[in-house]
Amino acid sequence: MRHLVSLRDWGREEIWEALELSLHLKRELRAGGNRPLLKGKTLGLIFQKPSLRTRVSFEVGMNQLGGRALYLGPEEIRLGERETVEDVARVLSRYVDGLMARVFGHEIVEELARFAEVPVINGLSDLEHPCQILGDLLTIYEKRRRLEGLKLAFIGDGNNVAHAWLAGGPKLGVSVTIACPEGYEPKEEFVEHAKAQGAGAKVEVVHDPEEAARGADILYTDVWASMGQEAELERRRRAFRGFQINERLIGLAKPDCLVMHCLPAHYGEEITYEAAHSPNSVIYDQAENRLHGQKGVLALLLA
């Protein structure tokens, strides 16, 4: 039994296996076919925080694979309050064939995986967002037909999405530069893990967005304040001023660079509306590929 708690736990071959399966399933779907690989299987969806893309993509993905998804919102479970995480994991393992958890604390996903008797997928935690990056890698591969040798500039907060890029990108040869204000760097453990992958990828953290953007193949950003950080919003707006993907920054990257955002976007903050809807933008392609990328993971772990 395998879990997807962190991309640090997956090797290069496992990530490629998931991506190739995702691409195959996407092509089958576009050709009018749907293989019921998960017929009779049920995925439990544990949500501590809401999401448009995560819920819809997992529910539709399970449906397309012949299975079904069961939504379990905050009031149904109240993890760690009404019941312990261990009890929830052990009980749900008797009912469903897999669990997806979108939670605040990463330790909850780790605890679910420790006690569950079915595969557990991290749909997002405060530490990492592996499903997002698998969909992003799929998008980049479709657009460029390669990953190795590309440079990604992540402009903004060293958050869970930045951590997931550090965990997964360098393993496939993608160089990752994180450009963030001082005090908002990604955790050093993720930086060191990325540097140790030895796939020819360069990993660095800088404090100048223009330095990061020069010659980049991909410009990537996320919101300045994630869900749960609303009290810090004004302070973060001041700290992140200038860390914005706009037409000027796009002009520093390669002419055919891809502009990416995991959404939802706050236009005028981390990205301008014009940049997000420019010819370079692939934000809706990557949103769609959350569906296909997760179908690959589901087929890999649950079939």
Q: Is residue 169 part of a domain?
A: yes
Active site residues: 102, 129, 132, 222, 262, 290
Q: Is residue 125 part of a domain?
A: yes
Do 98 and 227 belong together in one domain? no
Where helices occur in the chain by DSSP H, the ranges are: 12-30, 52-64, 74-77, 85-92, 106-115, 130-144, 160-168, 188-195, 209-213, 233-239, 247-252, 273-276, 283-302
Looking at residue 108, its amino acid is I
Q: Is residue 196 part of a domain?
A: yes
Q: What is the CATH number of the domain that holds 143?
A: 3.40.50.1370
Q: Is residue 1 part of a domain?
A: no
> For each successive 10 residues of the chain (303 residues), what is the average pLDDT?
96 97 97 93 95 96 98 84 92 98 97 98 98 98 98 98 98 98 98 92 98 98 84 91 97 98 97 98 98 98 97
Number of domains in the chain: 2
Do 49 and 123 belong together in one domain? yes
Do 144 and 268 belong together in one domain? yes
Residues 6+ apart with CB under 8 A from 109: 5, 101, 103, 120, 122, 125
Q: Is residue 195 part of a domain?
A: yes
Do 105 and 67 belong together in one domain? yes
Do 162 and 264 belong together in one domain? yes
Do 182 and 297 belong together in one domain? no
Q: Is residue 110 part of a domain?
A: yes
Which pLDDT belongs to residue 50? 84
* Full domain range(s) for residue 113: 7-129+293-302
Do 116 and 138 belong together in one domain? no
CA–CA separation, 141 and 143 (whole Å) = 5
Which pLDDT belongs to residue 43? 98
CA–CA separation, 199 and 11 (whole Å) = 12
Do 214 and 101 belong together in one domain? no
Do 116 and 200 belong together in one domain? no
Q: Is residue 2 part of a domain?
A: no
Q: Say if residue 130 is preceded by a cis peptide, omega within 30 of 0.
A: no
Which pLDDT belongs to residue 161? 98
Which pLDDT belongs to residue 265? 97
DSSP string, 55-74: HHHHHHHHHHTT-EEEEE-H
Do 87 and 220 belong together in one domain? no
Which pLDDT belongs to residue 195? 97
Do 190 and 269 belong together in one domain? yes
Q: Is residue 181 part of a domain?
A: yes
Do 113 and 24 belong together in one domain? yes
CA–CA separation, 290 and 148 (whole Å) = 21
